[in-house]
Amino acid sequence: MSQPRFLVTASPHLKGPATTPAIMWNVVGSLVPIVVAALFFFGLGALLVIISATAGALITERLFGQKGSLLDGSAMITGLLLGLTLPPGFPLWMAFVGGFFGIAFGKLLFGGLGQNIFNPALLGRAFLQAAFPVAITTWPAAGGGFWDVTAENLALPLMGAGETDTVTGATPLGLFKFEGVGTDTVDMFIGSIGGSLGETSAVIITLCGGYLALRNFLNWRIPAGIFITVAVLSGLLHLLDATRYPDPAFMLFSGGLMLGAWFMATDLVTSPVTKVGNWIFAAGVGVLIVIIRLWGGLPEGVMYAILIMNALVPFINRSTQPQVFGTRVQEAES
């Protein structure tokens, strides 16, 4: 019997269905409804901001990343997420620079996919906040015309902000922090409020994130942990002094908390690998959000909360190593 040539590979010879690109592109897919919501609430300008940020991320990845790394979908996620954290009237060139910075300094400098310590999208946003503090806190009032593309959007690089031609509004967090005004929770839940592009509709974000959690593409412990921590902590403070501290529903549905908890903190690369570690990480993010929002100088604290906890991930991983099978017994004996 003649013998064909056989393949010789190491076991296991079967492979589970999950692949890294599948996870990444599913995240991209679940961000699409949030992008559409941004388009619906803020008009065409919003879409252009997201496209600019994404273009910055993709082009940087293509130019400086490893060959073919665009296909794994991770740069796309960074770009989309960064775009969703920006205000609708944000100058497009700045969004582009943010995308570049996030990928180049947040990811590729560390060695590309899987090597970075900080969430690249948030690092890009942190850079923009430091470089362009005015532009990034200029919030047009919701409800402008769909086709409106503001002059700020089209501002030329480094020429200073053009004359403001839109009515600026304030975000619920800004209103609360600086003017002591609350916002209707239902409005925040649905999304018809001022704010960054993807930070407004809690419903859509929860549905999209929930889908990823069901498919095990993100770790549900992280959003759950953040929600519980923020709700409990702000609930206690609210009970102490309802005038100074907002109620938990406001805390949960305002600002970038939903997007941050579902999509940013859950970034696989920059969150812990252990289950216990994920709970600790989530609790840390929750506590920091409450502290920054209520006692810090900024109205919003999600970004820094996640970045700070990102930095602690290696430490969290090290200190939450699983108990190896059969080692507990030995310790009990000795």
Partner 1 sequence: MAARRRTFRHGVHPPELKELTEGEKIRRMPFPDEVILPLSQHTGKPAIPIVQQGDRVERGDKIARADGFISSPIHASASGTVAAIELWPHPDGTYKPAIRIAVDRYSAQVPRPRIVPRWEGLSPEEIVQAVQDAGVVGLGGAAFPTHVKLSPPEDARIETILINGCECEPYLTTDHHIMAEYPERVYLGIRIMMQALRVKRAMIGVEKNKPDAIEALRATRPGDLNVTVHPVTVKYPQGAEKMLIKALLGREVPSGKLPMNVGVVVQNVGSCAAIAEVFDTGMPLIERIVTVTGLGVKRPANLIVPVGTRVGELIEVCGGLTEDAHEIVFGGPMMGAPQASFDVPILKGVTGVVVLSKAETKPKESYPCIRCGHCLDACPVFLNPQLLGQQALAGHYQDMEEHHIWDCMLCGCCSYVCPSNIPLSQLFQVARTAIRRLGSKAAAA
If the CB atoms of residues 244 and 275 are measured against partner 1, the closer one turns out to be 275
If the CB atoms of residues 147 and 325 are measured against partner 1, the closer one turns out to be 325
Q: What's the min distance (Å) between Cβ of 267 and partner 1?
A: 9
If the CB atoms of residues 23 and 306 are measured against partner 1, the closer one turns out to be 23
Q: What's the min distance (Å) between Cβ of 4 and partner 1?
A: 7
Contact residues for partner 1, defined by CB under 8 A: 1, 3-4, 6-16, 18-23, 72, 74, 112-115, 216, 219, 268-269, 271-275, 278, 317, 321-330, 333
Other beta carbons within 10 angstroms of residue 230's beta carbon come to: 25
Distance between CA atoms of 89 and 128, rounded to whole angstroms? 14
If the CB atoms of residues 189 and 281 are measured against partner 1, the closer one turns out to be 281
Sequence-ordered list of residues with C-beta below 8 angstroms from that of 277, at least 6 positions apart, any chain: 313, 316, 317, 320
If the CB atoms of residues 112 and 172 are measured against partner 1, the closer one turns out to be 112
Nearest to 286 by CA among 243, 224, 244, 241: 224
C-beta separation of 287 from 231 below 8 A: no
Cis check for the bond before 272: say yes or no (omega within 30 of 0): no
Distance between CA atoms of 200 and 255, rounded to whole angstroms? 7
If the CB atoms of residues 143 and 314 are measured against partner 1, the closer one turns out to be 314
Q: What's the min distance (Å) between Cβ of 327 and partner 1?
A: 5
DSSP 108: G
Q: What's the min distance (Å) between Cβ of 284 and partner 1?
A: 17
C-beta separation of 233 from 227 below 8 A: no
Q: What's the min distance (Å) between Cβ of 326 and partner 1?
A: 4
**Alpha helix (H) ranges present in 215-263?**
221-240, 248-253, 257-259
Distance between CA atoms of 61 and 51, rounded to whole angstroms? 15
Distance between CA atoms of 230 and 232, rounded to whole angstroms? 6
Q: What's the min distance (Å) between Cβ of 166 and partner 1?
A: 40
